[in-house]
Structure 1
Amino acid sequence: MVNLLAAYADRPLPRSIAVVGNQPLPPDPQRAKAIDACDLVIRVNGFVLDEPSGPAVVGSRVHVVVFNRAVRATPYVFRDYRRRLYLLVEPGRLHWEPEYVPEWWPADLGFVPVSNREVVLPLSDALGLPTRTESTWSTTGTLAAWIARTSFPAANLILTGFSFIDDPNQTSWEHAAGDSCIVGPEHQIAAEGRLLESWTKTGETELLR
């Protein structure tokens, strides 16, 4: 996976990575500029992008899309899809999730499944989640952040759009596009927030609100 990520980045060994979650954020030209300046930009599920005629919020560049089978596709998810890497996370396959591809998925678009053994379970161990025996695992956003941090540990990492870092007790959340929804019972977002916030104390991870 590291080689794949590097192949889609602006340089073989990215020095800066942005992982953009789907929390609604106010306009901020500096945030948008910082995201788009990264060597590798990773976005999650039904993400949004800035339009040239609109406000600067989260930038417009995408190298990698990390998604799950329940993705609610926005108009941006498949824009320029031949230029992106699509990584499918499927922790539910450890328990009850069926293996299928959405009927609306582009016939000429492949994706790379993310290994549960090599990625999902080590993250669950770091979070203290008993994923091997119980139906509990991290959100797709935290999985994307984990992939970035563990693949390129020396890179400067920007995190943004992760509402549970500041609001770990929320039971529902808004999305930058689409309807709000409940926080799935399989997620322990307080633990995820603590992990991501701990990274910001190392000097190599920055949280942009």
Structure 2
Amino acid sequence: MLVLSRLMTAALGAASLMVNLLAAYADRPDPRSVAVVGNQPLPPDPQRAKAIDACDLVIRVNGFVVDKPGEEVVGSRTHVVVFNRAIRATPFVFQDYRRRLYLLVEPGRMHWEPEDVPGWWPADLGAVPVSNREVVLPLSDALGLPTRDEPTWSTTGTLAAWIARTSFPTAQLVLTGFSFIDNPDQTSWEHAAGDSCIVGPEHQIAAEGRLLDSWTKTGDTTLLR
């Protein structure tokens, strides 16, 4: 069983309302397994796809993809979408959106990011803001990032993983699509959909990779490559 750090325990208690929302969208109110799927391009793997879709709660990030009929890469189920305002929406982002929870992370609001909603966002789709104080800053503290004073914070993928781990600490966590765990020195991102882009200067992905990799040593987190 994962032993929570003091920072993770504080985040869990403060974000209880978000935990209740996540539980409401899961297959069961006490998820025993949670998958967080990043956007690294991955080769076909039937076992990976089945492991993701078998989870009680599946969280995907930003401009994600899901498997089309006949594909077996990252599964097809989605309960929760964690995104930021710079999202590059794929055709999959809004599929069946009335049945999903959309969580908006906005750490940049602490420094320079404007409070804008993309003009193409569906008019009948709401989004739940993720608290910077209750979620983003505890994660930054765990990563050793001075987010309160400087414009540096984690990627949306690591925020999604942190939300999953702190919200359901006894669940089995399945991670996949996080390229920086194996390649912490990369300076650009390759995406499963869309063009590549630089790793933003606000991110310290080596620290994020160390944190997520440390979780895999606990027995409660599995990394699927």
TM-score grouping bracket, smaller chain normalisation:
over 0.9
User: Which residue pairs with 2:161 in the alignment?
Assistant: 145
- For 1:202, what is the secondary structure of its paired residue? coil
Q: Which runs of no fewer than 5 residues in structure 2 stay unpaired? A: 1-17
Name the amino acid aligned to 1:46.
G
Matched, 1:103 2:119: yes
Which TM-score applies when normalising by structure 1?
Answer: 0.99
User: Which residue pairs with 1:79 in the alignment?
Assistant: 95
User: Which residue pairs with 2:62 in the alignment?
Assistant: 45
User: Which residue pairs with 2:38 in the alignment?
Assistant: 21
How many pairs align? 208
Q: How far, CA to CA, are the matches of 2:197 and 2:62 in structure 1?
A: 14
- For 2:39, what is the secondary structure of its paired residue? coil
Q: Which runs of no fewer than 5 residues in structure 1 stay unpaired? A: none
Q: How far, CA to CA, are the matches of 1:182 and 1:72 in structure 2?
A: 14
Q: How far, CA to CA, are the matches of 2:56 and 2:74 in structure 1?
A: 15
Matched, 1:4 2:21: yes
Q: How far, CA to CA, are the matches of 1:61 and 1:173 in structure 2?
A: 24
Name the amino acid aligned to 2:131.
S
Matched, 1:119 2:135: yes
- For 1:158, what is the secondary structure of its paired residue? strand
User: Which residue pairs with 1:136 in the alignment?
Assistant: 152
Which TM-score applies when normalising by structure 2?
Answer: 0.92
Cα deviation per residue 1:75-101 (whole Å; 9 max; x = unaligned)?
A: 000000000000000000000000010
User: Which residue pairs with 1:30 in the alignment?
Assistant: 47
User: Which residue pairs with 2:7 in the alignment?
Assistant: none
- For 1:103, what is the secondary structure of its paired residue? coil
Q: Deviation above 4 Å: which 4+ runs of structure 1?
A: none
Q: How far, CA to CA, are the matches of 1:33 and 1:52 in structure 2?
A: 13
User: Deviation at 1:155?
Assistant: 0.2
- For 2:222, what is the secondary structure of its paired residue? strand
User: Which residue pairs with 2:74 in the alignment?
Assistant: 58
Name the amino acid aligned to 2:82.
V
Q: How far, CA to CA, are the matches of 2:168 and 2:55 in structure 1?
A: 13
* C-alpha RMSD of matched pairs (Å): 0.3
Q: How far, CA to CA, are the matches of 1:194 and 1:9 in structure 2?
A: 28
Cα deviation per residue 1:134-187 (whole Å; 9 max; x = unaligned)?
A: 000000000000000000000000000000000000000100000000000000
Q: How far, CA to CA, are the matches of 1:187 and 1:15 in structure 2?
A: 31
User: Deviation at 1:114?
Assistant: 0.1
- Which of 67, 83, 94 aligns to 1:67? It is 83
Q: How far, CA to CA, are the matches of 1:107 and 1:186 in structure 2?
A: 30
User: Which residue pairs with 1:174 in the alignment?
Assistant: 190
